[in-house]
């Protein structure tokens, strides 16, 4: 309601009895009423034989949750404790319930799924894939590690960039930090607290979101995307020096009515779904490693000091027939000649002195 009112240019009288109870609430307060893990994750197993709750042996939860631009977010294997193998044997199988009844806009109903390193928290709609109900998605993952040169070595990264408020540094986390700083500068609050609150931000109330937060957010998006004009805000985000990238290959198949009918026999009563309701709300996701190889991409200097030294030596050898040994020999001969000349001069001086006497 806040966004739609702002987009139409309308004003809200926050002292009106209809809105007054909500003016001091936060966006997160609304997200907390969204479906929980138990309502969303209907089935979770690894390799098809183990329930996710039985994967860990330390009795810690297999997921954490936080709230941000994508709403309520569940992070599976948030600490990287769970390991896997290549192929179907190590795959993670999830059957999800989109809870269609909870949506106000029925034109776009989907989950945003992002596969990332467990030290990174900067997940947005732009960094994930969208999966819709009625389909099974099988996602193969290949790992690539990139290593960039520091600016002092001729590269573009800055090794002084360490962990920020969104975990390990990457371009997305840098832009999200810039967004938070911009909003806090303009409104003295942020829309959501970052996972690691390093700056003691204050969360905007709905009144602040409507009056300042959302307009400032739109201004920020315009500022960073308008490359034709200079603006007052500049976000300096160098490329990360070390970055792990997961390349995804996705295949999709439609869920059949026979499959939905079987699920309806066991779960239809729980959510009051029909067979068609199962197809309208259920989505299956299977994630696996295509192989356990890691592709490493390393940036190296195009022309280093040792390249220069080798080229100079090669040119000298080609044009002069010179090498290190011939250079040493030339230096030795020159030193010998200088020594002999100085010796002869001293002997001549001594002879003249004796003749005079």
Please provide the DSSP assignment of 18-70 as one string: TTGGGTT--HHHHHTTS--HHHHEEEEEETTTEEGGGT-SS---SEEEEEETT
Q: What is the pLDDT of residues 60-109, one digit of tens each?
A: 778 888 887 777 888 888 888 777 778 877 888 999 999 888 776 667 78
Write out pLDDT tens, residues 279-299.
Answer: 999 999 999 998 888 899 998
Query: In a 3-state reduction of DSSP, which class is residue 341?
Result: helix
| Whole-Å CA distances, 112 to 196, 257, 264 | 22, 25, 25
Where residue 167 falls among pLDDT bands split at 50, 70, 90?
A: confident
| 289: CB partners within 8 A, 6+ apart | 84, 85, 86, 87, 90, 140, 141, 142, 143
Task: Decide: residue 353, CB within 10 A, 0-12 exposed, 13-18 middle, 19+ buried.
Answer: exposed
Give the pLDDT mean for 47-51.
68
pTM above 0.85, yes or no: no
Whether 213 shows a pLDDT value over 70: the answer reads yes
Distance, CA of 316 to chain centre = 49
Indicate the DSSP class of residue 121.
Answer: -
DSSP 136-186: EEEEEEEEEEEE--BGGGTSSB-TT---BTTBS--HHHHHHHHHHHHHHHH
């Amino acid at each position: 309601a806040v966004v739609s009112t702002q987009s139409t240019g309308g004003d809200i009288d926050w002292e009106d009895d209809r809105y007054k109870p909500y003016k001091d609430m936060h966006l997160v307060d609304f997200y907390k009423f969204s479906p929980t893990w138990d309502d969303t994750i209907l089935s979770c197993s690894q390799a098809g034989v183990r329930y996710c709750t039985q994967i860990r042996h330390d009795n810690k939860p297999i997921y954490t949750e936080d709230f941000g631009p994508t709403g309520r977010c569940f992070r599976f294997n948030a600490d990287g404790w769970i390991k896997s193998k290549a192929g179907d044997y190590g795959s993670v199988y999830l059957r999800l319930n989109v809870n269609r009844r909870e949506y106000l806009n029925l034109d776009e109903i989907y989950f945003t799924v992002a596969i990332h390193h467990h030290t990174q928290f900067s997940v947005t709609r732009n960094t994930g894939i969208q999966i819709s109900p009625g389909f099974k998605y099988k996602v193969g993952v290949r790992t690539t590690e990139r290593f960039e040169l520091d600016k002092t070595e001729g590269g573009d990264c800055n090794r002084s960039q360490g962990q920020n408020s969104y975990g390990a540094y990457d371009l997305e986390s840098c832009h999200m930090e810039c967004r938070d700083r911009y909003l806090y500068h303009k409104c003295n609050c942020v829309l959501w607290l970052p996972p690691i609150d390093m700056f003691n931000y204050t969360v905007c109330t709905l009144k602040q979101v409507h009056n300042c937060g959302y307009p400032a957010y739109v201004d920020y998006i315009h500022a960073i995307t308008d490359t034709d004009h200079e603006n007052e805000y500049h976000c300096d985000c160098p490329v990360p020096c070390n970055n792990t990238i997961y390349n995804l290959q996705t295949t999709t198949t439609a869920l059949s009515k026979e499959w939905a009918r079987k699920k309806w026999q066991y779960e239809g009563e729980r959510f009051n779904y029909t067979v068609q309701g199962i197809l309208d709300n259920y989505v299956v996701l299977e994630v696996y490693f295509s192989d356990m190889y890691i592709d490493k991409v390393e940036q190296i200097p195009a022309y280093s000091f040792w390249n220069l030294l080798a080229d100079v030596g090669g040119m000298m050898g080609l044009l002069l027939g010179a090498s290190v040994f011939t250079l040493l020999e030339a230096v030795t001969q020159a030193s010998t000649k200088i020594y002999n000349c100085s010796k002869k001069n001293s002997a001549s001086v001594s002879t003249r002195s004796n003749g005079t006497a």
